[in-house]
Structure 1
Amino acid sequence: MLYANLVVQRMRDNRPFTPGAGPNGGDFFLPWRELRARFADAGIELNTPDRNEGREVAFELHLNAQRQLPADRPCYTFLYEDPLVRPLNANLAQLARYRLVFTWNEELIDNQHFRRLEYPNDLTVKEVPGWDGRDLFCVMLASNKALRHPDPRNLHDKRVEAIRFFEAQAPELFSLYGRGWGIPAVRPGAWGRIRKRLHEWRARLQPDLKPFPSWRGGVHHKSEVLLRARFALCYENSRGAPGYLTEKIFDCFTTGCVPVYVGGPRATEHIPRDCYIDGDAFGSMAQLLQALQGIDAARFARYQRAMREFLLSPASTRFSNAHFCRTLVEGITADLAQLQPRAQPA
């Protein structure tokens, strides 16, 4: 048995592999649990670095590029965050220090040093409620946060604009869920971070203040809400680099909720157009609302059928947990085989 480190932020005690430890009821960490099992099948035990202290470590796998790389073992990375959020993920000099880089970022992919790999998703197809089984018209699940620095590609402001529109024009048709909406909208930059702390302090003193009347609180698992909603406003954090497509749209697909998606360039080019509503196709929020109100039960059923067919098709495989794990395990073990014999799995 070989040992390897998984570096996810500063997590210890194998927390990325612990059911229920993630921010969304544990499913957030599901790809890492499955990845650990797949590496075990290859004769490699994957742990957080503290669990491997005193052992000879065959390699390290980093979630996002790290500034410090050990000199005594090969390192690999999956670039999870967009460079807009984590600039180091676009630092070519730093990325060159890795044996292999796995990324969805089409600006980097060369199929040699930079291998394509999408965000992982649990695409398990389940039975979901139809039109009549959903008591919420439109929802948004998001955290109240901002980019570290102002940038025109930011979509947090667009989220707030959408929330304010529904609160003013159709409050009975909209519900907001997520963390942090008990304070005004968080702003980017140093002053924004200071304002956030001041607002949090005020909220503790005046807990009855509700800057966002549509806010219904946080959720343990996104499906608690998405299984009840007909439509969900799915805004990415930013219009990121080409290929930037996170779990937001797939969470809707697996729960039968029709997503209104707003993202980056070519984000959905591999997803059939009849599976979602393009939020950028409307000149105003009023036009979007009118379009949503014009969708009846029959058309909603067609959206659900298209989403299900996509999830069951080979086209969805590239976005699955299984593909994510297989790509990493096969890519890393093949590379290890080219190194010294001691690094080869038993």
Structure 2
Amino acid sequence: MHKTIVFDIGNPGLLENKLFDPIFANKVSHTTLPLIYLYNEAKKVGFEGVTPDVYLANPDSYPNAVLFSHMRTEFTDRLIEAGVKPLIMTNQESPIIAYRFYFDLKKSLDGFSHAFLFSGFKNEAEKTEAEFHVMYFPEPYSPLTVVEAAFENRKLATMICGNKRVSFTMKRFLAGILSGKFYRELYKERLNVIKHFSANPGFDLYGIKWDKPIAGAEAEMRAHVEQCLRGPVDDKTEALRGYKFNFALENTICPGYLTEKIFDPMFAGAVPVYLGAPDIIDFVPKECFVDMRDFKSYAKLEEFLGNMSEEEYRKYIDAINRFIGSDKYALFTQESFAKEVLKILENE
């Protein structure tokens, strides 16, 4: 049995085995917590986990190591050349961010036995040698968490996002032409939300880098941002608890691509106002969120949110509670992800 897992996730801030320190890693992103859970569960059955730099510094100390990668990083090929068996490839990024990875999946998955990818890439992944597994974006929340919402004490809505835009370079454009894969980015749509709702005193914006120029929209957006910006947040869940609704927009529209953005507000007792995966209701019941596609304008959406009674709001919260206690949500838990990965490891 292989006894070492090299966690190759491509974040330089989590080398030196810092990935496995929950306090440190959580400061980088709470989305790293499921990997820490996997690391701890693997230890229980005899696996040691290391980061790439630790392995490469002394490879003889880690015989029969297997590779768990998040996309191909600067370390991936070096690790394989050093004798680490490429076992599991994962990708939790969207195709507008990881476009090189998705442009040629056969090359990206080369050598790996298993691939965890969003369901929209199932058909293409199955043309490779890797066994396909649906990437249900793993969440650190317990399915037993009970959501309570104090309706009268919450402001209308918030959005928590950084000041980001996609740079459509010529290389990215040509990759789209050659592959026939074009995806609508939603960074601009986030700006449209800010532009419309900034005048509503019940709307607040949180996030980093909003003091920097807004690419392609600085003159148009600066006044709107300053009107509603409340700065960065230290605790996203705590911040969300102050609002009835949270605008949860993915960074692109792509089948099967749904992330923590729709789940974070649920566990804070806020109803997601969602735009992203076109097949979202295959994963999350429609009664659990407000679907932005149902509204012809932001004015209509604002009217709907502002006029919602506590009784109607409670129906969403009750539906969320049913969902997070269901088998459907269980697919997105860190427990489910770890169980599937450990099954692969133990069968090696």
What TM bracket, shorter-length normalisation?
0.7 to 0.9
Given candidates 66, 77, 84, the residue that maps to 2:96 is 84
CA contact (8 A) 1:160 1:185 kept: no
* 2:341 maps to 1:322: no
Match of 1:142 in 2: 161
Letter in 1 for 2:46: G
Further displaced range: 11-20 or 173-182? 11-20
Match of 1:115 in 2: 133
**CA apart distance, 1:183:** 2.8
Match of 2:112 in 1: 98
Given candidates 223, 227, 248, the residue that maps to 2:237 is 223
Match of 1:2 in 2: 3
Q: How does 1:160-171 map to 2 (within 5 A)?
A: 160-168=191-199, 170=200
Letter in 1 for 2:214: A
CA contact (8 A) 2:158 2:206 kept: yes
Match of 2:174 in 1: none
CA distance in 1, matches of 2:48, 2:326: 32
CA contact (8 A) 1:239 1:263 kept: yes
Match of 1:182 in 2: 211
Given candidates 328, 332, 341, the residue that maps to 2:345 is 332
- TM-score, normalised by the number of residues in structure 2: 0.83
1:280-322 Cα offsets, whole Å, 9 max, x none, are 1111100000010121111111111100010001111111111
- TM-score, normalised by the number of residues in structure 1: 0.83
CA distance in 2, matches of 1:154, 1:303: 28
Task: Sort the Cα spacing of 1:40 and 1:7 in 2 relative to 1 into closer, same or farther, 3 A.
Answer: same
Letter in 2 for 1:265: P
Match of 1:238 in 2: 252
1:12-43 Cα offsets, whole Å, 9 max, x none, are 12222222324657633210110101111221
Q: How does 1:123-138 map to 2 (within 5 A)?
A: 123-124=141-142, 125-132=144-151, 134-138=153-157
* 2:269 maps to 1:256: yes
Secondary structure (helix, strand or coil) at the match of 2:22 reads coil
CA distance in 2, matches of 1:43, 1:88: 35
1:124-174 Cα offsets, whole Å, 9 max, x none, are 243444243533210001111112327761100000011011113x2x010
CA distance in 2, matches of 1:26, 1:88: 23
* 2:103 maps to 1:73: no
RMSD of equivalent CA atoms: 2.5
Given candidates 291, 302, 307, the residue that maps to 2:304 is 291
CA contact (8 A) 2:151 2:244 kept: no
Task: Sort the Cα spacing of 1:22 and 1:210 in 2 relative to 1 into closer, same or farther, 3 A.
Answer: farther
1:38-78 Cα offsets, whole Å, 9 max, x none, are 11122111111233332234111111234642132211211
Task: Sort the Cα spacing of 1:176 and 1:222 in 2 relative to 1 into closer, same or farther, 3 A.
Answer: same
CA distance in 2, matches of 1:155, 1:136: 25
Match of 2:320 in 1: 307
Match of 2:178 in 1: none
Match of 1:200 in 2: none
**CA apart distance, 1:4:** 2.0
Equivalenced residues, count: 314
CA contact (8 A) 1:6 1:48 kept: yes
CA contact (8 A) 2:238 2:268 kept: no
Match of 2:175 in 1: none
Secondary structure (helix, strand or coil) at the match of 1:213 reads helix
